[in-house]
Amino acid sequence: MMRAAQPVRRNGTRKRKSASRLLLALGCALLFWSALFVVADVLFPLQMPQEQGRRFAQVVVDARGQPLRAFPDQDGVWRYPVTPEQVSPRYLQALMSYEDRWFYYHPGVNPLALVRAFGQWIYHRETISGGSTLTMQVARILHPHSRTLPGKLYQMFRALQLEAHFSKEEILTLYLNYAPFGGAVEGVQAASYTYLGKPAAQLTHAEAALLAVLPQRPSALRPDRYPQRARLARDKVIQRMRTFALWSQQETREAMQEPVSALFNPHPMLAPLLARRLSQAFPEQALIQTNIDSAQQTAAQGLVADYIRQFPEQTSAAVLVVDNATLAVRAYVGTAEFGSEERAGHVDMVQAVRSPGSTLKPFLYGMAVDEGLIHSESLLTDAPLAFAGYRPLNFDSGFSGPVSVSDALRRSLNVPAVQVLDALGPELLYARLANAGTALRLPAGARPNLSLALGGSGASLEELAGAYAALGRQGMAGRPRLQPDDPLLERRLLSAGAAWIIQDALRMPLERSNNLYRQSRAWMPKIAYKTGTSFGFRDAWALASTASVTVAVWVGRPDGTALPHNTGRFSAVPLLDRLLHLMPVESLQPSPQPANVRQAPICWPLGTQQQLQSGDACQQVHHAWLLDEAAPPTLRDPFQSIGESLSVAVNLDASGQYRITPHCSEPKVSQRQVTLWPQSLEPWLPKRRQRDNMLPPIHPACGAESDQQIGVLVMEGIRPGSTLTPLPGEGGLPEVKLKADGAQGENHWFLDGVWLGSVEPGQEWTLASLNNGPHVVSVMDQAGKTARVAFRVAGVK
């Protein structure tokens, strides 16, 4: 029994020794190959893309991630950085299912996949499925090799290297960024932008399947060239997703029905000048996001390009659309035709500093309201006035006489604006605009002056848009925000009440650009907008502001050359009208009325509330918007002495019919208040409102004495009440030579209230081309004295 058991023990011992030798051999082999791998890893390190000189391209995208413009890398390759978190989960599902289901489990090489692929090749004598893992594909991207057995072994070595040095997420990120997708397109983000015009985060099921299979044969499956091939390959991936129950039956059915409609557009060109601006500002940033709305941007670019064709070739245009809620820029058109040499398409007119023309008038009026100088219906003087030597003229060289603030603002009259700025102070206007983000550029050595009201400074379209946003933002101006990360920089420019009053004054029906627009939006609400035209017709402006949006338009020549008839109303308003047609009507509503603004009747000429006036003081009633119940009196014009009131105390005799002058021997018995209009308005007033008819006549006992301190202005050359007729045998009137005696300074001549022109003292004025009917000719000198003569014309053929 004992002898029989000994061989069993010897056999068991032999087996244990054999197993130990095998384990030892395997351990030694593993140690040898590990040591060999370590040595090879040191001798042949991985070359990462950055070390190979592969750089990312740069793409500028809109608020939703849609590409606006792209800039390739130095080799012309379109490659944009992306992380797995920035890619649609549908794409990652399709990629893993189709390329490497065991990606997160194998060490870089999947032996079962290699054996399967080799067996299929032996049986079918052709490649049925690849044995490469995603890691191996990344290895081939980083280190290309020949499609031979040594090449495959080299690829496997590099794959093991990758797994040794990087995490699975890092390896996946390398694939997502550098996989080939046809042409010069690398990476799923670039492929999604190029073929589908969207970021990879927004892929549908069908699009995810298409991009998952495309790197297998990028040239043969390009969807823009071979849509049918691409669809067959895509559908194969979709079927696999259904087989593995990763996508539902409905999802796969809908994906299969979706057509393959792809374009090859690696370099979109929306907002190209904004993209260039941001690219230069952030040269190292691969992905630059903006606040642009691609739909609005596309429509605005198309409108501008179409609209500018009616202008000379050298003309350009610029547009900025700002969301008032956040100051985000939704459309940025810096040029009419990007790349056009004739239109200087490389010049960004959104940033260009140009003369703002009359576009600053709303702010000077608004500041004057805040300062308690005026209300919406204050009486202003539109007449040939001089303010400290500065003599403004209106755009059409005519004058209207008495005008309200609202009327003067809507009609963009120059003289009333300068009158208000003279009372406000140009330094205050300049400082408050600068504080709110619109730093006006002045000529070298110049200080803020009255010319600011008429465009005597420089500003950009972007700055003006930020200022005009204040009208729809309760007085808060700010810097338009180009990117989501831009801080909200806003400053108060006007009070909420003043901003509303100015916006209300500017609300007018837009002048329709053509019949089509007139018919399509006949119900369009009134829009608060202001035009501007710089000296020499160089710049035409139109800016609109509602509660929701601010739209700014510029038209002109980038080189600053004068352009005939290039006015805000003629050139810029029609484009503004078309742009506003792009927007829903609810975005065009005005701001809500503040609680501290109410309407009340006021009276001219004093300008104060009707309830505070008595007797004949209230000569003309207007309904004004008042801020905090304030109804300031009428501003003093240059002809009015400091402290002089429009309400004059008149001394009367016993009858009450005659005026007693200071040196008259006749005794003063009573006194009466007489309210007069500003002296500069005499040529436009009806006869009953003129000073000579408002003031009682001087008592005869006072002789020829007058309380006029500077003499009387007398018109010569035509008799009051006369009738002018042509000479016998003539069809028209002969020229009428007129002269003003006793005038001081320039003589301004008017016919029926319309300014004709001015001459120096002592010079004659010629009346010609008169029509039949009654007429009134007036003259006013620099001291404010006036004379007028009424006459008739008859017999003119």
What is the residue-wise DSSP string for 277-315?
A: HHHHH-TT-SEEE----HHHHHHHHHHHHHHGGGS-TT-
Mean pLDDT in residue range 575-583: 93
Which pLDDT score, from 0 to 100, does residue 164 have?
Answer: 84
Give me 315's structure tokens. 């003309």
Q: For 666-704, b where at least 16 C-beta lie within 10 A, e where not — what string?
A: bebeeeeebbbbbbbbbbbbeeebbeeebebebbeebee
CA distances from 462 to 93, 319, 468 (A): 45, 9, 10
Q: Read off the amino acid at residue 550.
A: T
3-state secondary structure of 560: coil
CA dihedral 254, 258, 264, 267 (to 10 degrees): -50
User: 286-300, 376-390, 532-546: which range is least confident on average?
Assistant: 376-390
- Model confidence at 460, in pLDDT bands (50, 70, 90)? very high
Give me 187's structure tokens. 């990476």
How many residues in the chain? 797
Residues 589-612: tens digit of each pLDDT: 999 999 999 999 999 999 999 999
Q: Distance between CA atoms of 328 and 485, rounded to whole angstroms? A: 10
| Cα torsion angle, 421, 426, 430, 436, sign | negative
Name the more confident of 680 and 297: 297
| Strand-pair partners of 598 | 626
Q: Quick one: which of 625, 444, 461 has its CA closest to 555?
A: 461
Q: Quick one: which of 286, 294, 291 has its CA closest to 83?
A: 286
Mean pLDDT in residue range 308-321: 96
Q: Distance between CA atoms of 421 and 390, rounded to whole angstroms? A: 12
Q: Distance between CA atoms of 387 and 137, rounded to whole angstroms? A: 80
Q: Distance between CA atoms of 292 and 269, rounded to whole angstroms? A: 13
Is the pLDDT at 472 greater than 50? The verdict is yes
Task: Report which listed range, 281-290, 379-388, 433-442, 608-617, is most confident.
Answer: 433-442
Name the more confident of 733 and 357: 357
User: 278-282, 528-532, 732-736: which range is least confident on average?
Assistant: 732-736
Is the pLDDT at 267 greater than 90? The verdict is no
Active-site annotation, residues:
99, 358
3-state secondary structure of 133: coil
Which pLDDT score, from 0 to 100, does residue 116 have?
Answer: 60
- Model confidence at 128, in pLDDT bands (50, 70, 90)? very low
Beta strands 549-556 and 723-724 are: unpaired
Name the more confident of 51 and 272: 272
Residues 663-700: tens digit of each pLDDT: 787 787 788 888 999 988 988 888 888 888 888 888 88
Residues 14-56: tens digit of each pLDDT: 666 676 776 666 667 666 656 665 666 667 677 777 666 577 8
CATH class name, domain 714-793: mainly beta
Mean pLDDT of the chain: 86
Mean pLDDT in residue range 193-212: 92
Q: How many helices (H) and strands (E) does the chain have?
A: 21, 29
CA dihedral 423, 429, 431, 437 (to 10 degrees): 170
Which pLDDT score, from 0 to 100, does residue 5 have?
Answer: 47
Mean pLDDT in residue range 380-394: 83
Phi and psi for 641 in degrees, rounded to 5?
-70, 150
Mean pLDDT in residue range 648-660: 85
- CA angle, 343 as apex, 338 and 347 as ends, to 5°? 60
Which pLDDT score, from 0 to 100, does residue 521 have?
Answer: 52
Task: Report which listed range, 126-140, 267-281, 712-726, is most confident.
Answer: 267-281
How big is the chain by its Cα radius of gyration, in Å?
A: 42
| Boundaries of every domain in the chain | 1-41, 66-257, 291-352+459-594, 597-627, 647-702, 714-793
Domain 66-257 sits in CATH at 1.10.3810.10
Greatest C-alpha distance within the chain: 173
Is the pLDDT at 706 greater than 80? The verdict is no
Q: What is the value of pTM for the model shown?
A: 0.80
191 half-sphere exposure, CB direction, 13 A CA radius: 29
Residues 345-361: tens digit of each pLDDT: 999 999 999 999 999 99
Which pLDDT score, from 0 to 100, does residue 119 have?
Answer: 56
CATH topology for 291-352+459-594 is Beta-lactamase (3.40.710)
Mean pLDDT in residue range 487-497: 97
- Model confidence at 371, in pLDDT bands (50, 70, 90)? very high
Is the pLDDT at 59 greater than 50? The verdict is yes
Mean pLDDT in residue range 244-252: 92
